[in-house]
Structure 1
Amino acid sequence: MKSTQSAESNAVNTVLGPVSADELGVISVHEALLSVMPGAEHAFDITINRAEIFETLAAKLTGFRENGGQTIVDSSGMFGGRDVKLYEALSRTTGVHIVASTGMGPEEMLGGYFLTPQTNPPTPWPAEKFADLFTKEVTEGMVVPRVERRGAAGLVVTAANHAGMTATEESLFRGAARTALATGVAVSIRYGADAVADLGVVLDENVPADRVVVGGLDRKDAVAAGAPLQIARRGAYVALDHVGADDDVHLTDPERAALVIELVEAGFGDRILLSSNAIGVAKGQPEYDLPFSYILSTFAPLLAAQGLSDKDAQRILVGNPRDLLSAR
């Protein structure tokens, strides 16, 4: 099996091929370019016009670049609307590096093929089957259905249900971890009900903690449980990845900024990642029209006003995500 992964230890897979991590600049590590609810592409009342989608996303990526952003990670995984050929054209047009991801989850978003394999009684897919599926998307290229494989995935992502990890989701997490071990890419998890326990499932597969990012840690329940500090102490990356969200589930931006300062003062500035979970174009689900540039234009000044140094800001926006994405 010939790998599309560059031999360079600090290379990152983008949709246009491997790029030196030192060229990535300011990185947003958890966004969605095109997010399509599975099945929505077949709905009679939903229009998917690729030309219109391209124009919308090109404008948003250009705005991201004009505010200093250079790389964006589409962390939607395999079946959330990922369109590799579209992303290639967007990257060429806008000059923004795009890192696409493999992986899937939570269970409620999976198709029946992954839930009811041909066993009697049906059992969840084993971790090794998920690992094989994800690994090939890194080593052979991401699947364009019924056509071909194209650029290699640069990250493996998965998520658990907020009510708690299911048996299928444990297989997903373990499969993602095994892909990280086999390929050198990092693994990004969205925790379910217990961030520390869900991280433990991945670490149980012997993945080094500094190759794992735990997302959703700006949820109020995570902060109330002390999860951000616990995750950082274990050596994994702490993703505050709903910057700009205004809801009952997540911290406000001032609270989120205070948490960043707290983590830095505790000595964990090298464990922090920021993103907005923004959606460029949504189909079959509510729009979330937050600019990809929001962190740079709005949140970074708030951090500076709360006392974050330029050095720490550079580390959080450039150094940490660069280190995470560098294949090892």
Structure 2
Amino acid sequence: MTDTTTSPASVNTVLGPVSAHDLGIVAVHEALLSVVPGAQFAPDITMDRAEIFAVLSDKLNDFRQAGGRTIVDSTGMFHGRDLPLYETLSRTTGVHIIASTGMGPEENLGGYFLTPQTNPPTPWPAEKFADLFSREVTDGMVVPRLERRAAAGLVTTTAARDGMTPTEESLFRGAARTAAATGVPVSIRYGADALADLDIVLDEKIPAGRVLVGGLDRKDAAGVALEVARRGAFVGIDHVGTDDEDHLNDAERAALVMELVTAGFAGRIVLSSNAIGVAKGHQDSRVSFAHVLTTFIPQLKSQGLTEADAGRILIDNPRELLTVR
């Protein structure tokens, strides 16, 4: 079992704690292996581990060659997370991999987490989620029925697009309590109202600087990114490369980044692509892990982003967010 003890100014990776100053350029919200819960049992879905390893290895090597050093798998506990696979990938590619605990939205939870053995059935309370997630940081992440491995590097959770359910509020509060108890950050994927969802997390008395609010390049988040930054949380512009009816395109994202920088919030921005290395049971994103570095940063620099601010966004901000405190 990998050592889960953490030294000062360190970050939890799948191979154990590393110095926060060794992270380099970080992609803060990606998915290595993304599996819709249950798809691994479908007769029409192949789960060839050698093939999955080969595909992910190639994509991580491309990311490393583009200048990337660390990638965060922000899928949580039950959406394909494969710790032995990620350990081998990290060793062979030289890319630091940070895995996450947490879960959500409610529609992706198994029945056990929705209706535990109570009469009448009731959703899990926040303290049960907090205990579950916190143990994945303090004791190591679970490989089902085998063992615990390295400590989770962050706790992540998601709300339904049409509004947070009571179970999802328990998830958010449990995630925030985990962050407060263990020192890892919390990454939230907001539902219908980013500021209201952020308020729920902050109500658990964690500093705003320990929170990443993702998905703020959604079209329904117009004007929200500046307010999230004003409150001190990190702004996740994390679908870079996606161009669909729900999200800004890269030209609009670039304008949003420059608006934040001009307003003095370069120190609150993190970028990522929500790229998927291998998808099972759903559509691949078709965006590479390297897209931010090879395409989007040059686009921002052409609009006046300085080298100093680029370094702050790609290196300093993720380091500040991910350092265990």
TM-score, with structure 1 as normaliser: 0.98
CA distance in 2, matches of 1:112, 1:6: 34
- For 1:118, the equivalent position in structure 2 comes to 117
Amino acid at match of 1:82: R
8 Å CA contact retained: 2:129, 2:175: yes
> Cα distance, 1:5 vs. partner?
3.4
CA distance in 1, matches of 2:116, 2:6: 34
Q: Calculate percent identity across the aligned residue pairs.
A: 70
Amino acid at match of 2:87: E
- For 1:11, the equivalent position in structure 2 comes to 10
Amino acid at match of 2:6: S
> Cα distance, 1:24 vs. partner?
0.3
8 Å CA contact retained: 1:17, 1:151: yes
CA distance in 2, matches of 1:120, 1:227: 41
- For 1:280, the equivalent position in structure 2 comes to 277
CA distance in 2, matches of 1:257, 1:58: 29
Q: Secondary structure at the match of 1:162?
A: coil
Amino acid at match of 2:253: R
Provide Cα deviations, 1:153-185, integer angstroms capped at 9, x if missing partner: 000000000000000000000000000000000
Is 2:65 the counterpart of 1:66?
yes
- For 1:176, the equivalent position in structure 2 comes to 175
Unaligned runs of 5+ in 1: none
Provide Cα deviations, 1:43-96, integer angstroms capped at 9, x if missing partner: 011110000000000000000000000000000000000000000000000000
Q: Counterparts in 2 of 1:129-208, with a 5 A limit?
A: 129-208=128-207
- For 1:312, the equivalent position in structure 2 comes to 309
> Cα distance, 1:119 vs. partner?
1.6
> Cα distance, 1:309 vs. partner?
0.5
Amino acid at match of 1:70: R
CA distance in 1, matches of 2:67, 2:27: 11
- For 1:215, the equivalent position in structure 2 comes to 214
CA RMSD of aligned residues (A): 0.7
Q: Secondary structure at the match of 2:102?
A: strand
- For 1:47, the equivalent position in structure 2 comes to 46
Amino acid at match of 2:269: I
CA distance in 2, matches of 1:43, 1:83: 18
8 Å CA contact retained: 1:5, 1:138: no
TM-score, with structure 2 as normaliser: 0.98
- For 2:93, the equivalent position in structure 1 comes to 94
Amino acid at match of 1:4: T
Unaligned runs of 5+ in 2: none
Amino acid at match of 1:257: A
Provide Cα deviations, 1:197-218, integer angstroms capped at 9, x if missing partner: 0000000000100000000000
CA distance in 1, matches of 2:271, 2:169: 26
1:245 pairs, out of 242, 245, 260, with: 242
CA distance in 2, matches of 1:234, 1:59: 39
Provide Cα deviations, 1:118-162, integer angstroms capped at 9, x if missing partner: 122211100000000000000111000010001110000000000
CA distance in 2, matches of 1:310, 1:166: 42
CA distance in 1, matches of 2:184, 2:108: 24
- For 1:268, the equivalent position in structure 2 comes to 265
CA distance in 1, matches of 2:4, 2:51: 31
Q: Secondary structure at the match of 1:104?
A: coil
Provide Cα deviations, 1:91-127, integer angstroms capped at 9, x if missing partner: 0000000000000000000000001111222111000
After the TM superposition, which parts of structure 1 deviate over 6 Å for at least 4 consecutive aligned residues? none
